[in-house]
Chains A and B, each alone.
Chain A
Amino acid sequence: MAAGADDRTTAEAVLREVDGATPERRAVVTEMVARSRAALDRSAKLRASGDEAHARLADGLARTWAEAARDTLRAVELEERANAERRAANDAGTTAERERALLEEGVAQTGRLRAQIEAVSREGKEQPTRTSPKSGSDAGAPRPAPRAAAKDGGAR
């Protein structure tokens, strides 16, 4: 008697837990829940007719279907979570690769800057300070091919 009552109480409690799930998830276990409720109804009828032994069997059946429904929901939830975590891991991996590329670029940039600092320091030690602002630079203009100097014949 006690075991049957326990099974019924447990089945009802588990079904309440399942009912608390989102409609999308509940749809996955509709059939199991229906079978559990059907077993509970059958148990009630058997008990009402005085067939306690079979009523307890029906309570046990209701509990098994209810627990199967609950564990299905747990599995679905875990599968969804695993998928989300897998996607997040992929995203983080992509971002990490980008950070690594930026890091390598940063390493190269600091290397270039160090070389420039060294070159400027060396230049400062090797060359005297300029005293004339006149520049010998051609401002990036392309160098001409060698040619004879032009005559200053246009003057009058």
Chain B
Amino acid sequence: MRHAIVLAAALAVGCGGAAATGSARVADAERMQKSLAGKDVGKGQAFATAEAELRLAKEANAQGDALGAELHAERAIASYNHAIVLARLARATEEEASAREALAKASEQLARYATQRRAMDREAEDLDKQLKIAREAQLPAASGPAEPERERARFVAAQTLVTQARLLCSAARLVSTDAPGLAESEATVSDLEKRLEGDKPRGPVPIDAVARARAACLTALTKARRATSTGADATDALLAELSQSFSAPPAAGATATSAAKREPPATARDERGVVVTLRGAWKGEDLTPDAAASLEALGRVAAAHPTFGVQLVLHDAQTPSAAEAAADKKRLAAACAALTKAGAAAAKVTTLHAGARAPLVDPADAKRREQNARLEVVFVTP
């Protein structure tokens, strides 16, 4: 813009012949000289040249050399322009040097931080490994081979642990199907269940592996809850409602005798949530009236607390035969139907047949093993 103004002044040539043109040009150069007074362009060679040319233009004009005056005056104007350009060039040089220095400084800082961060990342990686090693070191020592009798005891314990693992993983799935590590844990449990089928060990018992699988399922349940936890209030409210449900008058279909004897089912808490245990719930493959009434009440509680999943777990007094296992499946289906009929959401109810793999007393004890037979209704805490 600055150049355009200067050039516009320089182009303002008069049309009164050579003498008039020379005088006009000298006047243009003088105007330009005045316009630059006090500006930062007057110290360089170009400005000195402009001043000298203007002087020569005036002299030539005075001597009647109109063409010489015009050429000197026009060179004075060109030199003033050059002085302006050189001042601009000097400023640009300084700015460029300053920007280059700023870039170098920022780049150096960036490189320093990046190097330090990479070192820090490596250190964090090393520390993470150290932490894993320290945690590994805290695990119990691996179980070595044992006497046959001890191996049989391990087999029974492993069956119980793998069943517990299955129940925990199932509970985790009811809380969140996307729980981290759940799918892997379930696959491990399935593999271990196959290895522990039958009633005696086939090779070394994977006692350490089942302990780890149980821990993994418990971890999956914990992680599932981290994302969905509704707090203690929901569990307390559910327990209060359970208590209220079983203090209500007996079901219309119950006999006078059974109604008089009917007491609330056992309620306890474990890692999964609130466990309600029903005993003597079956007559053949059908629910007894009391059990049906209890399940109806529990179904209503489940309907009132839709965030809780429900596990139905059937336990036998002793290891069931194939026919008994088939009957147990029908019993579980009947229990599930009773729950959902009372309002429990079918998608939130799951059934599991534990057989005699999680007994309360020794299944070989003919006098007491009946205690093992039970139906657990577990309200899985979200």
Contact = CB atoms under 8 A, between A and B. Distances in A.
Contact of A140 (B130, B222, B267): B222
Interface in B262-291: 263-273, 276-280, 288, 290
Interface string A124-156: 100001110101011111111101001111111
Most chain B CB within 10 A, of A64, A102, A130, A154, is at A154
A7 B165 CA distance: 98
A19 interface: no
B59 interface: no
B138 A124 contact: yes
Contact of A124 (B3, B92, B137, B265): B137
Contacts of A150: 264, 266-268
Given A92-B106, A100-B113, A107-B120, A57 B235 contact: no
Interface string B88-118: 1100110110111011011101100110110
Contact of A54 (B67, B100, B226): B67
B268 A124 contact: no
Interface in A15-74: 31-32, 35, 39, 51, 53-54, 57-58, 60-61, 64-65, 67-68, 71-72, 74
Contacts of B134: 117, 120-121, 124
A103 B277 contact: no
B181 to A, nearest CB: 13
Chief secondary structure at chain A's binding surface: helix
Contact of A57 (B68, B106, B120, B135): B68
Interface of B: 3-4, 7, 10, 49, 67-68, 71-72, 74-75, 78-79, 81-82, 85-86, 88-89, 92-93, 95-96, 98-100, 102-103, 105-107, 109-110, 113-114, 116-117, 120-121, 123-124, 127-128, 130-131, 134-135, 137-138, 140-141, 161, 168, 211, 214-215, 218, 221-222, 225-226, 229, 231-236, 239, 263-273, 276-280, 288, 290, 294, 374, 381
14 contacts: A60-B75, A68-B78, A75-B89, A78-B93, A96-B109, A103-B120, A110-B127, A117-B131, A129-B141, A133-B215, A135-B214, A138-B269, A138-B270, A153-B263
Interface of A: 31-32, 35, 39, 51, 53-54, 57-58, 60-61, 64-65, 67-68, 71-72, 74-76, 78-79, 81-83, 85-86, 88-90, 92-93, 95-96, 99-100, 102-103, 106-107, 109-110, 113-114, 116-117, 120-121, 123-124, 129-131, 133, 135, 137-145, 147, 150-156
